Amino acid sequence: MSINNTSAIILNVTPYRETSCILKLFSPEYGLITGIAKGVKKLKSRREPLERGFHINLTVYLKNNRDINTVSNIHIIDFFPGIRNNLQKTAIRDITFELIITSIINYNPQKELYSILLKFLSQLEQLSEIDILYILLWRFFLKFADISGFGPDFSQCIYCGTPVKESSYLLINKGGISCRNCCKNDFRNSDFLIPERLLYVLASSILQYDNIPAFGSAELLRITRLAVSYCRYHLDIHREFKSLNFLENLFLSETNCTCLHIGF
């Protein structure tokens, strides 16, 4: 057995018996960790119960060939209250968590992805403009795809090689985009369209918050579905994302409330 101190982000919490819980953790040194925190619920010194999305320090007792390891000495670094108290931010965050849980191998180092996720959470915590929040999510998916080796090239058409400067179609199975001239009729579907105003934002290395294009609610949801579908296809993930379904229901409930408010 090895005893290791590390930082981690809690991706999921499952109650276990009366006083313990099982944590799904993401750490830079060990990737995904499943750990049991014994007696953590009865600690009088803990003012905040452990929840999904917390950034923590902890000790992990790793044993070979063990699916669940013991964790202890948990100290909260940040619990991101701005995300925790906002349903839309929570749903956006949970989509990234579900992507990691369904695709990352246990106990493999993930320092680059951990750094990107932590930066994403910090930005999600601080920012409030709705279009920026979703662009942060889409850029996270793009960076995840790049790290995993299937990132799409938004700079040119995969067929003719022409630099793309207008709205184009993302061909999920091809791993790239097609200009309007080359795109076959089978793929001329608005579900796969990447608007011109979004191509530049996704391809830019630095996100300029004062130059963010505006999107309607339906467009935000469509592009989010497209990003999730792209990663699910290339990672061979067959199950639906519960967090995406929750986000869709959230959009639906907000739309219904708006219609009721204006008298429809």
21 with 58, same domain: the answer is yes
127 with 221, same domain: the answer is yes
101 touches 12 (CB < 8 A): yes
pLDDT digits (tens, 9 = 90+) for 181-221: 888 765 678 899 999 989 888 888 788 888 788 999 999 99
* Lowest mean pLDDT across 43-57, 62-76, 247-261: 247-261
CATH of the domain at 50: 2.40.50.140
142 with 182, same domain: the answer is yes
Q: Tell me the pLDDT band of 102, cut-offs 50, 70 and 90.
A: very high
132 with 235, same domain: the answer is yes
Distances in Å between the alpha carbon of 79 and those of 47, 211, 228? 12, 30, 26
240 with 111, same domain: the answer is yes
- Of the two residues 6 and 155, the one the predictor is more confident about is 6
120 with 8, same domain: the answer is no
142 with 207, same domain: the answer is yes
* pLDDT score for 260: 35
Q: Tell me the pLDDT band of 48, cut-offs 50, 70 and 90.
A: low
Structure tokens at 32: 């995904």
Total domains in the fold of the chain? 2
125 with 243, same domain: the answer is yes
141 with 239, same domain: the answer is yes
- Bridge-based pairing of strands 69-78 and 31-37 is parallel
* pLDDT score for 205: 79
Structure tokens at 76: 């909260």
Contacts of 111 (CB under 8 A, 6+ apart): 28, 29
Q: How many residues would you count in the chain?
A: 264
pLDDT at 94 over 70: yes
* pLDDT score for 187: 61
- Burial degree of 23 (CB within 10 A; 0-12, 13-18, 19+): buried
pLDDT at 235 over 70: yes
Q: Which residues face 5 on adjacent strands?
A: 59
Instruction: Give the start-end residues of each E strand in the chain.
Output: 2-16, 20-27, 31-37, 55-62, 69-78, 153-157, 168-171, 176-178, 193-194
6 with 132, same domain: the answer is no
73 with 200, same domain: the answer is no
What Rg do the C-alpha atoms of the chain give, in angstroms? 20
Task: Out of 39, 56, 79, pick the residue that ends a domain.
Answer: 79
pLDDT at 80 over 50: yes
* pLDDT score for 36: 93
pLDDT at 101 over 70: yes
Task: Out of 63, 79, 95, pick the residue that ends a domain.
Answer: 79
Q: Helices 217-235 & 130-148, crossing angle to 10 degrees?
A: 10
% of residues, the chain, pLDDT over 70: 92
CATH of the domain at 224: 1.20.1440.120
Average pLDDT over residues 65-70: 87
* Lowest mean pLDDT across 73-87, 141-155, 174-188: 174-188
Structure tokens at 165: 């400067």
Q: Which domain holds residue 53?
A: 2-79
| Spatial distance between the Cα atoms of 35 and 145, rounded to a whole number of angstroms | 27
92 touches 247 (CB < 8 A): yes
44 with 157, same domain: the answer is no
| Spatial distance between the Cα atoms of 254 and 249, rounded to a whole number of angstroms | 9
Full-prediction pTM beyond 0.85?
A: yes
* pLDDT score for 186: 56
Average pLDDT over residues 226-235: 97
pLDDT at 52 over 80: yes
* Lowest mean pLDDT across 38-47, 125-134, 156-165: 38-47
Task: Out of 39, 55, 79, pick the residue that ends a domain.
Answer: 79
